Structure 1
Amino acid sequence: VAVGYREDGINIYKISSGSQGPQHQELNVAVSALVWLSPSVLVSGAEDGSLHGWMFKGDSLHSLWLLSRYQKPVLGLAASRELMAAASEDFTVRLWPRQLLTQPHVHAVELPCCAELRGHEGPVCCCSFSPDGGILATAGRDRNLLCWDMKIAQAPLLIHTFSSCHRDWITGCAWTKDNILVSCSSDGSVGLWNPEAGQQLGQFSGHQSAVSAVVAVEEHIVSVSRDGTLKVWDHQGVELTSIPAHSGPISQCAAALEPRPGGQPGSELLVVTVGLDGATKLWHPLLVCQIRTLQGHSGPVTAAAASEASGLLLTSDDSSVQLWQIPKEADDSYKPRSSVAITAVAWAPDGSMVVSGNEAGELTLWQQAKAVATAQAPGRVSHLIWYSANSFFVLSAYENVSEWQVGLRKGSTSTSSSLHLKRVLQEDWGVLTGLGLAPDGQSLILMKEDVELLEMKPGSIPSSICRRYGVHSSILCTSKEYGLFYLQQGDSGLLSILEQKESGEFEEILDFNLNLNNPNGSPVSITQAKPESESSLLCATSDGMLWNLSECTSEGEWIVDNIWQKKAKKPKTQTLETELSPHSELDFSIDCWIDPTNLKAQQCKKIHLGSVTALHVLPGLLVTASKDRDVKLWERPSMQLLGLFRCEGPVSCLEPWMEPSSPLQLAVGDTQGNLYFLSWE
């Protein structure tokens, strides 16, 4: 990778083992743009308008040619298989045959420009060739994004203009592998464009300040901004990660795919950022991991270029060229694990133990991230609930509820643990789709497929506390503050709430219609639902969206009071001659139906690429996970991404454990049989 500096010249960093330090070479001008023409040939553009070709041999750069006939600064360089383009502050973009520039030349007359593009009304800040080299995109301070047909290099044809497509200067442009054009701007946005159709495909607006550069690698888009932030997006605009990478503005970035260590399959995104703080940093942003900080210059960084073929990083100030080689990290051993999917996980009340269950019914007890005991449950484990410090309940095979005891045996030097089946509740309950702890923590709640809720107290048989007819129940959630929530999905979501009295009895049902209108018109399936506050509900869906739902007045104002409290409502029809007694079963049918309250979408955000499989609301934080393999930690209510972890397989279950004086702990299971223990301080 090559990086240009304003004061010290150019640095080259080689991402491999072997080098002990940088090589040095004097330069006389500030480098403003860089591009690799081959693994051994680099071209630099300078603020005095000159272009300089370099041959990289061994550990040093040797001059190939110098072209200094132009006076205005070179602001951007790009190369295709056939051509090199140079964007200039003089409103033009010039083209040269690439092969010509890889040869040594003594006289500038030997480097004739094959074409000069004029179409911008201001300085041209950037240029980029499409993957096949057939289209050149140029953009600049006139806020216009131009696309040129390069089939005839001597006479390029302007085929499309995106006029005033940003509110401020366009500072960078790049192409994805499927010929989608990406632009970034000082207005803080990143835009996606389809030049063939002449349409804007999307706009990413997550940056809080001017975006200075953008690159595209496979399915990822990387952008950096003047406030020092590095962001990675997918092509649909999902913000995969956001990292405060530098203390000051980031000038440029470069990206490539790096093979994973230890023979692991796939590759990892590697990003290099260079900034006005004089530092060059290497990142694995999808792992939220900084690999290296490369010092060696004190001046601002102004240009960067990457070469996957040679693995070089070159940085420039005003007067020197330096070569670096980055030692490789030690390879981690890769051990294949069981392929049986983890389907449920739960923390003990004190956080000292975790129990997990899998597709085959195997229960595993974990202490300090180590498996200490195993047992076999009757069928696939779908839910796990701790009832006390040493006992938990298991829902397996969608119909069996069993109670298990953790046994601790103290020896002379250590303590061993074991799992014992205490009892299996033999009841013909039908298909069970949910298991939870009552809000007061004194009883279990069972949810049946035919929308009936059962309460089971210790030593007692389950009793029905609520029954509905004709709708399939899918999600059960209990909240100590607000009550018992359960969701029925049909043409639209119907959320119902049972409030628990101090006596432990459930007295009332509140109903809410969930109005989720997907912008693309496709059906929405709710996969997770949790109350966020006394006035809002969070719903996650199968398309990776997060919805914030609230109640709205008829005047269009959002209600901020507690909407989960009991409200006096008049039933549409009332056929019962007497009111229900406090001890009677709450059994509502079509003959006694209360108008549901409508909850509308106050906010909607794409948070994952796949179906959301976990959603947990914590003090000031939100934890989500998805079939896209990602676990994400968000700040509430700003929804700023704080951290990301990528699992080896789609995430199937996640449970947090958090105490005021302790760091957040996460236990995460995936469909490939892996269990991860994550910590966030």
Structure 2
Amino acid sequence: MWSVGIRSDGRSLVAVGAEGMARGLDPESGGEFTLDVRGPGRFAVLAVAPHNTGMVTGGPGRTFHTWTFDRATPPTRTLGPAGGRRASVRALAASGRRIATVATDGTLEIWDWSGNHLAQNVQPGDQHTCVAFSPDGMWLAVGSHRRVRLMSEDLTRVQDRGPTGGAPVNAIAIARDGSWIVSAEANGDLQIRDETPPHHTSGISAHKGPATAVAVSPDSRWLASGGEDGTVAVWDRRTRECRTRYSAHTGPVHAVAITPDGTRVISTGEDGAVRVWDSRGPERIRSGDGDGMWAVTVVGDAELLAVAHRDGSTRLCDPYGDTRSSPLSSRHGEYRGPVAFAPHGSWYAAGHLHSVEIKTIDQSAVTDPAVLPLGPSTTAQALAVSPDGRWLAIADSAGALQLWNRLPEARTATVPGQWGAGSRAHAITVAPDGTWLAVLRHRYRSGRTGTESLVQVVRLTEGCVVADHQIHIHRGEKLTGLAVTPDGSRLLTTSLTGDVSQWDPRTGALRTTVTDPDGPVNALAVSPDGKWIATAGPLLRVWDIVTGRTAAGVRAEGPLTSCAWLPDGHGLVAVGERGLYLHEFRP
């Protein structure tokens, strides 16, 4: 993603990318809205006019385009050409009356929204690089390779504001009250110029590498910058101190913007992500080294999360990803198998060697746990605890399903699996009323078919199996996720083909399927009120469970492997290789 702009009412933002599309996004939920404009070639720059009057996009080539927020292709108007021969549009700015363009040959030009060329400015030996309109649209701040200048909107009056800090200006912004200007320079510095006499200039060493983007808060008291080092930083205007810094992107940051209420900072980068941050600190998304995070479970009332890692270990952390414990373990070593938690989070069951061990959350590793022996050479592959916490379901390596009472510890049933030991259990889910459970198993078949999946639905009465009452759902593909709706009326699955399917658990009949257009889905979770499905894959996507329409979607630095709803239904947590992400959801 190359550039981002926000409507003046703060209701939506627009990001443009190299694939030639402009996407409308909700800055709170990350959901895409209907704006979907495709330009002739790649987009590189974007400007949004005040009062929601329109936006302008530009990129390779001398033409640029104006759009309205309620209209898709084609553009409202194609304007230009900008600059000289073989030039392209490098930077854009828009007011309610005018559009300013900077071409790659350094030409600054002014246009009206009808496309009429009004003025032009060229500085011999000092190419213009960026431009911004003042809040009233009557003057411009213009950055160049060597200097910063102020110009009237018709370019007839030019005031020099001094040299750069020794490097070209990559971006420039003006405070909302017009009292100061800030420029982001290729040496990593920010230069702040007061517009009240004596026009004092102060500097901030902001980034390791070029500073590439800058934006000013609505109250003119702080600013945000982005750099090629992949970070986004928030700075106090008066003290020039860094309030907070985000490890925002895996590559250079291309653009930053601030919502009109000042609560959110938006960033886009080379990695293709559009990131939304809390301007007060890194509360919205936690990213960084994920240490191989693979799966996440909400424990109890969500004061804790359990995060499973690719090495098989499980750690407890708070909802912001701060680790609260060393890996869960016993006196025999760390647990490297499946882990399941009781509904209220007071205890958990963990697969260990040829048994399942039960411990309380705060139980010391040296204290002996309760042990459920599974049998010789038999290990647990998936676990689940009943909604009332009275019994456990264990899918074992022999292909069977074992049911155990919690107190006293006793096996109550063993249900053979249709595929036996030639399969591997992936997940177990239990109906909210405890009257049935489902086990998802995989097995590999040689040839073109590869992995196939089987969902075994077992009917229960008070934790006991109802004889000869099973449903089998067979799929010739790898299913990746398993979940049940809060009312127990639907069983849901996801697949590597991107399908999100709903099944009738009583009959095994397929009710509906929607397909994620972005590809494989690795996991899913159903909201506590049963209205929404969250899926983890290339995007963390939220679907309307009835219509199948996307309500929200947000990207991380890489694919997400697991997701879970917080108990209030207004928060989502997801994990992937790069770390843990916490999002608010506001339907």
| TM-score, normalization by structure 1 | 0.37
| Structure ID, larger Rg | 1
Higher relative contact order (CA 8 A, sep 6+): 1
